[in-house]
Amino acid sequence: MMKKKLAALGLALMLTVSLAACGGGSSAPASSAAPAAPAASEPAGGGEVKGLEGPIAESPILLTSVGQSADVEMVKVMMDKGGLSPETNSLATEADLGDSKTLVLAIGGSSKGLGAAGIDANQELDRVNKLIAAADEKGLTIIALHIGGEARRGDLSDKFVAPSFEKADYAIVVADGNKDGLMSDLASKAGIPMDEVATMADVVEPLKAAFK
């Protein structure tokens, strides 16, 4: 009798445990790529990169996105507040360069943004590479801005960083996005001045200072 009761109790317990153990998971998260590299490393080429010493750029300005994040909208607001009023086209191509003297690149990938534009990362890279090459050919001043910090690093955004720096004449980056020194390295490789600022709100001043 006792044995049976114990066995029944044991079985009941096992049932409870097995129920509890099948775990949640009604809405598993999109466990995509881990963001941002660990923060530890020293900005590698950091020492060699200098800030901008005098104004280099002129209006008219064409502002475009590199990666279709809404950071391009933020840059537009900043430039408007700084009295720089750029022509903004987040999908600009060579044909849109017109008589622009400066091309401003707002770097940052966004899968939502690429989705909104109906293109993929490779199509975006292709557009940007052609646009930058054309601007460089025509002698425009190219300014690369990475304002999104850590939120605009990681697999998708990182694709867009190097191509933007390659032919740039100047770069401004928010420090959080350059913890691993990626952008300092790229600026030093490209031999261009770069200013690192603490927050997005601090981008306006050096950006204004870059214009004659």
Partner 1 sequence: MNKQIITASVCLLAALSVAGITGKNFMEVKKPDELRPGPGVTQTKMLSDYFPDIAGTNADSTVYVMEGEQPGGKMLVLGGTHANEPSGYLAAITFVESGKVEQGTVFVIPRTCNSGFTHNDPQEGSPQYYTIQTKGGPRQFRYGSRAANPLDQWPDPDVYVHAASGQRLSGSETRNINRTYPGRPDGTLTEKASYAVRQLIDTEGVNLTFDLHEASPEYPVINATVAHETAMSIASNGMFELQMAGIAMSLEPSPTNLHGLTHRELGDYTDTLPLLMETANASQGRLRGKTNADLVLTGKDKCYVKAQKLGFLYVPYDETGHPIEERVGRHLQGIYEYSKAYSAQYPESPIVYNGLPSYQELFLDADPSELGGTQLGKYLN
| Contacting positions for partner 1 (CB under 8 A) | 20, 22-32, 34-38, 68-71, 73-74, 76-78, 81, 110-113, 115-116, 118, 148-149, 151-152, 199-201
Smallest gap, in angstroms, from Cβ of residue 73 to partner 1? 4
Sign of CA dihedral 115, 72, 92, 161: negative
Q: Which residue has the tokens 């990681």?
A: 154
**Measured between alpha carbons, how far is 164 from 177 in angstroms, rounded to an integer?**
15
Distance of alpha carbon 171 from alpha carbon 201, whole angstroms: 16
Residue number, 45 or 154, with CB nearest to partner 1: 154
Measured distance CA(144)–CA(165) in Å, rounded: 6
Closer of 51 and 115 to partner 1 (Cβ): 115
Helices (H), the chain: 2-21, 71-81, 111-117, 121-137, 155-166, 182-190, 204-209
- Of the pair 23, 139, the CB lying nearest partner 1 is at 23
Cβ of residue 7: shortest distance to partner 1, in angstroms? Answer: 17
- Shortest Cβ 63–partner 1 spacing (Å): 12
- Retrieve residue 4's tokens: 């049976």
The values of phi and psi at residue 145, to 5°, are -120, 125
- The least distance separating partner 1 from the CB of residue 20, rounded to whole angstroms, comes to 8
Which residue, 38 or 54, has its beta carbon nearer to partner 1?
Answer: 38
Closest contact distance (angstroms) between CB of 15 and partner 1 is 15
Nearer to partner 1, 25 or 139 (CB): 25
